[in-house]
């Protein structure tokens, strides 16, 4: 899991940025070994556990900002930049929507428009054409409507 990292030392910030490149998937499957009585061992992969309490590091200008995943409300794409709207602030970073979408997908983020990715946990309501988060209207485009409907069917209980 991604955990809190002390960013007090500036050299750590540069190393983290260079090593992981911002939103690189830091979670890899862990290998677990089973040992039998005969001394033979078998190997199996354990899927990584994703938790809304995880932290990610976001590069903003010349510093890295630590964000808790559950604080991200939605993401808006603007060319090669994206704005992450959180419960506390808005952060602009140089990143592609496609890379960010694949990185945040395990945390129940879904793309609803060419320019918007939303957090399933922070959605207040939705209608046929929009998702509402904190009284902000986010459009659902026709090209993403079907994949969004499938995402809701897999992740939401409806009564």
In a domain, 76, yes or no: yes
Query: How does residue 158 score in pLDDT terms, banded at 50, 70 and 90?
Result: confident
Contacts of 7 (CB under 8 A, 6+ apart): 13, 16, 63, 64, 66
Helix (H), strand (E), coil (C) string for 64-95: EEEEEHHHEEEEEEECCEEEEEECCCEEEEEC
Q: Which H or E element spans position 141?
A: none
Number of domains in the chain: 1
2 domain-assigned? no
Residue 141: how many other CB atoms lie within 10 Å? 14
Domain that includes residue 63, residue range: 10-155
pLDDT in tens, 15-35: 444 445 555 544 545 555 555
Answer yes or no: is 3 within a domain.
no
pLDDT at 130: 96
- State which H helix or E strand residue 23 sits in: none
Quick check: is 1 in a domain?
no
In a domain, 89, yes or no: yes
Evaluate whether residue 139 is within a structural domain.
yes
Spell out a b/e string for 82-121, using b for 16 or more CB atoms within 10 Å of the CB, else e: bebbbeeeebebebebeebbebbebbbbbbbbebbbbbee
- Provide the token pair at 118: 């939303």
Give the tens place of pLDDT for each residue, 37-69. Answer: 555 555 555 556 677 778 888 998 889 999 999
Question: Is 4 within the bounds of a domain?
Answer: no
CATH label of the domain that carries residue 50: 2.40.50.1020
Burial, 34: exposed, middle or buried (Cβ in 10 Å; 0-12, 13-18, 19+)? exposed
Residue 5 lies in a domain: no
**Three-state SS for 130?**
strand
pTM: 0.69
Q: Who has greater pLDDT, 49 or 77?
A: 77
């Amino acid at each position: 899991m991604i955990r809190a990292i002390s960013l007090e030392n500036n050299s750590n910030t540069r190393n983290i940025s260079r090593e992981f490149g911002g939103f690189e998937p830091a979670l890899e499957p862990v290998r677990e070994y089973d040992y039998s009585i005969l001394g033979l061992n078998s190997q199996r992969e354990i899927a990584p556990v994703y938790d809304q309490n995880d932290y990610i590091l976001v590069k903003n200008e010349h510093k890295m900002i630590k964000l808790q995943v559950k604080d991200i409300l939605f993401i808006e794409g603007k060319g090669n930049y994206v704005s992450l709207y959180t419960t506390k602030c808005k952060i602009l970073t140089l990143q592609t929507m496609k890379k960010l979408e694949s990185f945040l997908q395990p945390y129940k983020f879904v793309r609803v428009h060419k320019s918007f990715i939303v957090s399933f946990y922070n959605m207040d309501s939705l209608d046929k054409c929009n998702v509402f988060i904190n009284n902000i209207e986010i459009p659902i485009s026709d090209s993403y409507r079907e994949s969004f409907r499938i995402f809701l069917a897999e992740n939401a209980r409806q009564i």
